[in-house]
Amino acid sequence: MSLKLDPTTSIHRRLLILLLPPLALLMVAGGFADYRASMVFMRTAYDQSLADAAFAQAALLKVVDGRIYAQLPLQPQPLAHAYRAEKFYYSIWGPDHILITGNPQLPAASAGEGNLTYADAWLGSHRIRVVTYRVATAAGVATVNVAETTSRREAARHFILTSTWLMDFILVDSTLLLVWIGVRYGLKPLLAVRGQIESRSPRELRPLDTTEVPAEVRPLVDALNGLFEVLREAARAQRQFVADAAHQLRTPIAGLVGHLELLTQDPAAAELESRLCMLRDGMSRVAHSANQLLALARAEPSANLADRFQDTDLVPLVERVIERNVDRSVKARLDLGADLDAASVAGSAWLIEDLLGNLVDNALNYTPAGGHVTVRCGGGQSAPYLEVEDDGPGIPEAERGRVRQRFYRLPGSQGHGCGLGLAIVEEIAGLHRAGVTIDAGAGGHGTRIRVQFPALRAASQGKTANTVTP
């Protein structure tokens, strides 16, 4: 029968559960062995006491005119007084099985190799222990029988049995306690390693401190540190690739869009203006899609394992995003405004700026001319948030879960997005342990998307400020 343990059971409890059955078996075996050994010594001691009484009785025998006599009084008073609940009996028989004195009903032990033999017997309703001593005299062999009831022996047996099991039980409990204490203090360095891991962010990859790690655990910690190093290098390589790809894609696409702009303004290309405008718009969409894909790659958790999270003020971040989109909003005849209160979060400033940029980009894409887009931040350090509200067509409640998926666009959408904006927002929010809610705007019109960040102090304590040395 195998003992199955819950994987979540602590090491201390697991060890105690595993040790309890063998220790219980050892307690039973040890208790039985101790009890048997004690009973042998006790039986020998009490039998020796009976033998001494028989020797004392034999010493009182006298032979007169060829007959054996016993001197009076023949009462074993010291024995009788030794244990009040005990009863003692004796009998002395002559050579011809003639009773000299004592109880004639007292049985004798069977003859053996020596002069002294023992037996267990019954005398009436009393269980007795009998010793028979055969002594040679001038008148022949006299037989001295001395017996006692087993009250003392039973009392001693119960005492030995109780004390043996009690001591074994105390010994097992003490052993388990000592094991628990030893394991608890022995695992302190390992618990310190666990504390290091629990106190850091899942994205924090600095090596674990090995100064106080036991030699048995050091290979495990070294392996973890090696894994952290590999992950840190992989994250660095991925970020470098994303940066290189962004540079290699953006530069030629931006050049093509610029050339197409110049061509549409060249009088010699007037006949091709409509086609050039279509090509320019297509290239603009390609540029937008490339930027969105690169932003999504940057927002992937694996690309941000070695990133730094620092205290970030949301107000200047919002101002930068609005400033970048002012010309676009004017051109689209949209009212782009802001409602800013002080707010700070623990995070990556450039990722949060990407998050807000995508929210504003979506709002500007889908809000018709003459509409309003409002960017808000606030909540201080206890409940910081970012919010973008527009009075566009809105997102039906049944679709608010699906629009978070990659490449999903609402049926009949008029904008030019590629379905990645809210997916990027979800990725970046997840990295910052923030929640994204999608609701209708004021009066039930339009869309209001809020990103609720954790409190700055709680985020700093829970993630140890997420500061990593790449």
Question: How would you list the strands of the sheet with 116-123, edge to edge?
Answer: 99-102, 88-93, 140-149, 126-137, 116-123
CA distance 423 to 300: 11
CA distance 147 to 91: 9
Instruction: At 402, list the tokens.
Output: 């699906």
Other residues' Cβ atoms within 10 Å of the Cβ of residue 430: 13
CA distance 127 to 99: 22
Buried b (16+ CB within 10 A) or exposed e, 59-90: eebeeeeeebbbeeeeebeebeeeeeebebbb
| Helices and strands of the chain, counted as H and E runs | 10, 14
Instruction: Specify burial of residue 136 (Cβ count, 10 A radius: 0-12, 13-18, 19+).
Output: exposed
Show pLDDT as tens, one digit a residue, over the chain (470 residues): 444 444 445 666 777 777 778 888 887 888 888 888 888 888 888 889 889 988 988 888 888 888 888 875 544 444 444 445 678 888 999 888 888 888 899 998 888 878 899 999 998 888 999 999 999 888 888 999 999 988 888 888 888 888 888 888 888 888 878 877 877 777 777 777 777 777 666 666 777 777 777 777 778 888 888 887 887 777 777 666 766 666 666 667 777 777 777 777 777 767 777 777 777 667 666 666 666 666 666 655 555 544 567 888 999 999 999 998 999 899 989 999 999 999 999 888 888 888 998 899 889 988 888 999 999 999 888 889 999 999 988 888 888 888 787 767 776 566 555 667 788 888 888 888 899 999 998 888 889 999 999 987 655 444 433 333 22
Cα angle value 240/246/250 (rounded, 5°): 155
Q: What is the radius of gyration, based on Cα positions, of the chain?
A: 49
Q: 280: which residues sit within 8 A by CB, 6+ positions away?
A: 257, 260, 261, 264
Strand ranges inside 351-412, DSSP E: 372-378, 385-390
**pLDDT for the residue numbered 197:** 74
CB 354 within 8 A of CB 428: yes
Count how many residues are written for the chain: 470
Instruction: At 116, list the tokens.
Output: 């002294």
- Closest Cα to residue 285, out of 423, 417, 411, 425? 417
Q: 18: which residues sit within 8 A by CB, 6+ positions away?
A: 3, 5
Looking at residue 348, its amino acid is S
Place of tokens 């302190």: 188
Buried b (16+ CB within 10 A) or exposed e, 144-159: bbbbbbbebbeebbee
Q: Please name the helix (run of DSSP H) or strand (run of DSSP E) that holds residue 200, with its range, or none.
A: none
Give the three-class secondary structure for 101.
Answer: strand
Other residues' Cβ atoms within 10 Å of the Cβ of residue 468: 20
